[in-house]
Amino acid sequence: MKAIGYFVEGTQANGAERTLSQQTDRFLAFCQKHGYQVAATFVDTKEAEEAENGFHQMLNFIERGDHGFVVAVVDGLGVLGSDLGRAAVKMLTIEEAGATVYEAESGEEAARAIVGQWSEKEAGTPVSERVRAAMRRRAVRGEALGRPPYGYCVGANRRLEIVPDEAVVVQYIFRLYLDEALGIRRIAGRLNEENIPTRRGGQWSMVSVRDILRNRAYLGTYSRFGVRIPDSHPALVSPSDFRKVQENMAKRRRGGTGRSLKPFLLSGLVFCGRCGNRMIGVSRRQNWTTQGGEERNAIYRYYQCESRTNQNTCSYNTQREAELELRVRELLEEPNGKTARLQRAGGADAYAEEITGQLGRIEGRLRQNRRQVETLVGEAASGQIPIERMKTLGSSFVREQRELEKEAQDTRARLAAERTEAERKEQAEATRQQLLTRWEDLDLDKRQALLREIVDRIEVDGEDAHLLRRN
């Protein structure tokens, strides 16, 4: 088994600063004591520009998955964050990537250490324990809490009751999956083609269909706060059908889609010229046998309209990755002419204000996400849910947290790039020239960052492509 070490310069422990050398020594002692082979170490320094580079490098290392079983070791919880809430988010992020986190000194799982310290805090958890206890008692009685699943409403006795029009759709989705063997994307497409709206009147997506197929509420089982109450409300599907769906979905996940971990350069920049939705990067692995009996395989990467991918709407608008990126380079070579420029309503000040507002909203969502993680830790500390359940529920929050952090980072970069119009034009031209002259030398992250500085969006419709630059 292998271990990776994560060190943070200036970490405090028992009121004293722990040097990188001390953290390293304790990590090596942990590996020797428990029989781990050192796989790698990652460091974050005090410098602002270096903040968390080591942390994200470690996540990428773990997610590569080619190192066998690994654990991540930290000197203490202070390495993960200045308070237990931040430490919990980072711990869950590492574990969601695929490595269990341990404290070097105690040898204890970080999750257990966090929950243990949380329960010892003199101050209460972020949500009143009295309110949580009352909600747990209601859950034990099978009383519905929060928004009911599609197909149900909350009745007078606080139990889930069937909404006939929605229940028919739920059963239709299960029938399409089992009897007609449609995948979740094609099911979403069928529902949209037949003008069957979601509860909010919108269109169905892969996510909304998948969530219905996985929801145990349709078995008549109510689950909340770690409490599971069978036969608490009328079922919409049989146990055998539900089991078959889960088995089929598990087989598809194990079989995989040949997705590559390598990111797509134009993610977030390219849009469908037909419906206006984003185009997302898709990887497919294809295996075949030649006439001579030789087994071969290849990975195909392309951009495809998200409406078609997730909702099976829009027409077939697909662009090969290499061809579209070459087209973007050609458009960048045109300082004027076909390269359209997107005018900003209200001028530069209004645009900067818009970015500031967008950043504020993202940071608000980040704070809300962290509070949700803290609530889970509080529930585990009070014994309402087991620690493993806390990890399972927390994984969805930390996935969203990483996406929000990336979005916030990009937005801050855009805000920092705002200057006077003359300075912006000068900087934009310098960035364009750097991209054109050093395209092959730049790594993907740097190339993508430079593109986002000068490109607002790329609209693609078959052979037709338009690049709209920032003013």
Domain with 170 in it: what CATH number?
Answer: 3.90.1750.20
Q: Is residue 430 part of a domain?
A: no
Q: Are residues 97 and 211 in the same domain?
A: no
CA angle, 255 as apex, 254 and 257 as ends, to 5°? 115
Q: Is residue 371 part of a domain?
A: no
Q: Is residue 85 part of a domain?
A: yes
User: What's the distance, Cα to Cα, between the start and end of the chain in Å?
Assistant: 53
Q: Which of 86, 120, 154 is the last residue of a domain?
A: 120
Q: Which of 325, 353, 368 is the last residue of a domain?
A: 325
pLDDT in the model for residue 89: 92
Inter-residue contact 292 to 234 (CB < 8 Å): no
Q: Are residues 205 and 306 in the same domain?
A: no
Q: Is residue 239 part of a domain?
A: yes
pLDDT in the model for residue 132: 57
User: What phi and psi values does residue 44 have, to the nearest 5 degrees?
Assistant: -115, 135
Q: Are residues 138 and 28 in the same domain?
A: no
Q: Are residues 63 and 158 in the same domain?
A: no
Q: Is residue 385 part of a domain?
A: no
pLDDT in the model for residue 50: 45
Q: Are residues 176 and 79 in the same domain?
A: no
Q: Is residue 241 part of a domain?
A: yes
Q: Are residues 7 and 111 in the same domain?
A: yes
pLDDT in the model for residue 241: 92
The total number of structural domains in the chain stands at: 3
Structural domain including 281 reads 270-325
> Which residue has 């409300």 as its token pair?
233
Q: Average pLDDT for consecutive 10-residue bins of the chain (471 residues)?
A: 91 80 93 92 70 83 80 92 88 92 91 86 47 57 74 85 93 92 88 90 88 90 70 89 88 53 82 84 80 81 75 70 89 64 48 79 87 86 88 87 86 71 75 89 86 86 84 62
Q: Is residue 297 part of a domain?
A: yes
Residue 383's SS3 state is coil
Residue type, 174: F
pLDDT in the model for residue 73: 95
pLDDT in the model for residue 422: 59
Q: Is residue 339 part of a domain?
A: no
> What are the Cα distances from residue 316, in Å, to 52, 202, 207, 214, 467?
40, 21, 20, 29, 21
Q: Which of 224, 255, 286 is the last residue of a domain?
A: 255
Q: Are residues 21 and 60 in the same domain?
A: yes
Q: Are residues 52 and 146 in the same domain?
A: no
Q: Are residues 116 and 207 in the same domain?
A: no
CA distance 278 to 282: 13
Q: Are residues 41 and 77 in the same domain?
A: yes
Q: Which string of DSSP letters, residue by residue, matches 166-184?
A: HHHHHHHHHHHHHTS---H
> What are the Cα distances from residue 389, in Å, to 348, 377, 468?
48, 10, 46
CATH of the domain at 61: 3.40.50.1390
- As to burial, measured by CB atoms within 10 angstroms (0-12 exposed, 13-18 middle, 19+ buried), residue 100 is middle
Q: Are residues 143 and 187 in the same domain?
A: yes
Q: Are residues 157 and 189 in the same domain?
A: yes
Query: Model-level pTM greater than 0.95?
Result: no
Q: Which string of DSSP letters, residue by residue, matches 192-222?
A: HHTT---TTS----HHHHHHHHH-GGGGT-E
pLDDT in the model for residue 48: 42
